[in-house]
Structure 1
Amino acid sequence: MKKSISYFIEKAADWLFRKRSPALMVFRAGVYLLPLTLAGGWAVSIMYKDTERTLSLGYQSSSTAQFIVGICLIVDVGLMVLGAVWEYQRYRDEKKRNDKKKTIVIEQRGLVDTSDSPLSEFIKNKCSWPVESIVNDIREKITDNVISRPDVALARVNNLKMSLSEKTAQSAASDISIAYGGVSPVPFTFYTGYLLDDESQISVYDWDRDVGDWRGLDDVDDGEQFSIEPSSIKGNSVVLAVSVSYPVDRQAIASVFTGLPVHYLSLPQLDRNNHWSKEKQDRLSGQFLEYCKTLLGQGVGHIHLVLASQNSIAFRFGQAYDKRNLPSVSAYQYERHQPVRYPWCVQILHEAGKKPSVIQTEFKHVA
């Protein structure tokens, strides 16, 4: 019984104060004006009497005033009925639309355990339609933040496309929205964006390490752009090193990629929290794409990508990478405490019949 009363009070409060819609504005106007109308129609009478005197104050409205009050009362009740019916119709139409909608949440778990705060639960609090989850979990292949079997993890990433197709097969494309977030090794995150680039609009989220929860890309764009250090050496195969959150390891790059031309893209301020603007990410991914096109124009056939960035940036760069026109690409994993600091990569070749694969680095070790 108490729960029923609490539920009724909560819903009544939503209707009267919290929810926003034109229909509820009309309904509330009727509710708020009704007491004033009733007060205007009251007859006021006050009398004070003692042994010596009698004081009387009275008010009785005229028939004209009563007629006006009656009209106002009808208008107030009419506003309430109109607002209630309109809101019910709006609610029914919205529910009908929402019954068709579905959000597919793709969450990659790897370097940080986010299982206590699933991205799907975060998304459910933001929408009123069904939410389904695809979790790509490679944590059992990671020991002390070092991935032991990248080939097995890559196979799981490859399954994302099929899992997504299964969940969207029975729905119209216009009714499906996709949310992505994760904390995963850069090569897999980049490849995931590359893999999903032709899907419908994807909302990207990232893990906020400061608060231990998910967050959307909701900050204001600070206008930062990449500064570019091109290489004067030409070659069919080049290294493109991009610094966003941390500086890339230039010593390791010089040692591991011996003899290859190296091009650097760097933000002026390297910080783990410099990526929370969608507009900024769109601009940086566009700048990244344009520079890859520049390399293509110089005759480059393969790009070795070294990327020091947050998860969402790596995903957006993967989305931006044009698989039909740009050179083939290898995205490298960085392991600071290993003899070879770039020990493996996900190699993506743009040749018929060639599937992405994990390649172990066979270059010179770090000095």
Structure 2
Amino acid sequence: MQALLSYLMGIGTKLVNFLTRKRNIGLGIAAVGVGIIAIVGAGSFTLEFHQFFGVIEAFKFSNEGGLSDFLSTLCAYFGLLIIAIGVSMAYSDWRNERKERERKRVVVVELRGLVDTSDHPLLEAVPESLVGQRRSLLLDVRQKLSSNPPQVAQVLDEIYLMPRFLRSIREENARGDVQVVAGGIMQVPLLFFTGVVLEDEGNILVMEWDRINSRWGELAEADSGDRFAITGLENVQPGGEVVVAVSASYVASLPDIEKAFPGVPLVHLRHPKALPNQLWYAGENAALQNQFLQTLGQLEGLKVSMVHLILAAPASICINFGRRYDPHNMPPLRCYQWQRAEENPYPWAVEMPSAPEQPGKYVQHFLPEFDATK
């Protein structure tokens, strides 16, 4: 059933894109001219040419359907004039679009940390509505993250350098001529950190990986109306630490959270339909971002010393939540990696930088009974 719904959603998206595609006004005008000539010649007609020194000077339509030769010829001239105007406009639009495509850039940031998506690169899934030359920024760190121990610190350095590549492109082009498209399948803390470092890079289109159909997709311009149910804010102590758990694509493991952070107050943002491959609405995504932002704002008002963030969410949520995090106006934050069925369910985290010029920090997390520092 889920596969059928995803398939129908893909068909619906293509239909909407077709119906809302950019029309060529010039070709439409030319079609009107063709229609006029077709109407004039609906009956049997003849076409007479008058030549002078072998060159066609004029021609005349003769319509046996009722219109006089003069009116038939006049309508034919009018139709040809409209066709000429339409073709001229179509050519002008094509030339302008070509110049725009040559001037603009679409930078595609793809993150590979868990799944090999080389058969379906994000670069090839960029919507045709985004005009401009494609530039790929691929970060494939699967080998580094699969090593034991994972080389998270090196990956953080690579993510931290991504804005330099983007700025080098912006230096060659006007800021408004560069569109960034981002997406990836990577460990949650790294996706969140990617959102943090990309926040200053202007307008960003975040695309999602469809796990059922194994393809990239754009969030639909709609809103399901579903929102987080937020609980636990009343238990937060001013100046203390807090765990913020976000259950979006599945419900975060509360026993694992209690095991890793015993006695730490929990604020839970739970989606009413916390299931995989469900959050495909841009309006809903934006509303959830706002709820997350407001929650961090309330915690800042309580002057909490550290937010331990547990994200059970798809990549688009992780990246966009990272983009909304402001280290200047929000509490210090660490985003944790969950390891299912491990003795230590949250073995490491990424501590977000307190200033833009600082990289993220790899932090190993130990269970309280094994933490030698206590």
Query: Match of 2:54?
Result: none
RMSD in angstroms over aligned alpha carbons?
A: 2.5
Contact 1:219 1:277 in 2 (8 A): yes
Secondary structure class of the residue paired with 2:172: coil
Instruction: Name 1:348's counterpart in structure 2.
Output: 352
What TM-score do you get using the length of structure 2 for normalisation? 0.83
Structure 2 unpaired stretches of 5+: 1-20, 47-61
Say yes or no: does 1:111 pair with 2:114: yes
**Structure 1 residue 122: Cα displacement:** 1.3
Q: Secondary structure at the match of 2:322?
A: helix
Equivalent residue for 1:189, pick from 174, 188, 191: 191
User: How far is the alpha carbon of 1:163 from its aligned partner?
Assistant: 2.0
| TM-superposed deviation, 1:128 | 4.6
- CA distances 1:251-294 after superposition (whole Å, capped 9, x unpaired): 11111112221111101111112211111111001000101111
SS at match of 1:193: helix
Measured after TM superposition, the shift of residue 40 of structure 1 is 4.0
Match of 1:209 in 2: 211
One-letter identity of the residue aligned with 1:121? E
2:171 equivalent to 1:152: no
Q: 1:351 to 1:127 in 2, by over 3 A?
A: closer
Q: Per the alignment, do residues 350 and 80 of structure 1 end up closer, same or farther by CA in structure 2, a change over 3 Å counting?
A: same
Secondary structure of residue in 2 paired with 1:358: strand
Aligned mates of 2:314, 2:138 — CA distance in 1: 19
Please give the secondary structure, in 2, of the residue aligned with 1:169.
Answer: helix
Q: 1:89 aligned to 2:92?
A: yes
Q: Specify which of 72, 77, 91 is matched with residue 74 of structure 1.
A: 77
Partner Cα distance (1:308, 1:159) in 2: 26
Q: Does 1:218 align with 2:220?
A: yes
SS of 2:300's equivalent? helix
Looking at structure 2, the residues matched to 35 and 308 of structure 1 have their Cα atoms a distance apart, in angstroms, of: 62
Higher Cα Rg, which structure: 1
Query: Is 1:65 aligned to residue 68 of structure 2?
Result: yes
In 2 relative to 1, CA 83–251 (structure 1 residues): closer, same or farther, beyond 3 Å? same
Greater Cα shift, 279-288 or 124-133: 124-133
**Cα pair 2:243 2:265 within 8 Å, conserved:** yes
Change beyond 3 A, Cα 1:124–1:295: closer
**Corresponding position: 1:141 with 2:138:** no
Relative distance call for 1:335 and 1:164 in structure 2 (3 A) is: same
Match of 2:265 in 1: 261
User: SS at 2:118's partner residue?
Assistant: coil
CA contact (8 A) 1:258 1:363 kept: no
Q: Residue 68 of structure 1 aligns to which amino acid in structure 2?
A: L
3-state DSSP of counterpart to 2:284: helix
Hey, what does 2:368 align to over in structure 1? 364
| Other structure's SS at 1:73 match | helix
**Compared with structure 1, are the counterparts of its residues 158 and 75 closer, same or farther at alpha carbon in structure 2 (3 Å cutoff)?**
same
Q: Which amino acid aligns with 2:257?
A: I
Change in CA separation of 1:317 and 1:19 when aligned onto 2, cut-off 3 Å: closer
Q: 8 Å contact 1:41–1:69 — kept in the other structure?
A: no
Percent of pairs with identical residues: 30
Measure, in 2, the Cα distance between the counterparts of 1:221 and 1:190.
23
- Aligned partner of 1:236 in structure 2 is 240
**Equivalent of 2:179, from 174, 177, 180?**
177
Decide whether aligned partners of structure 1 residues 134 and 42 sit closer, same or farther in structure 2, where only a CA change above 3 A counts: same
What residue is the counterpart of 2:11 in the other structure? none
SS at match of 1:214: strand
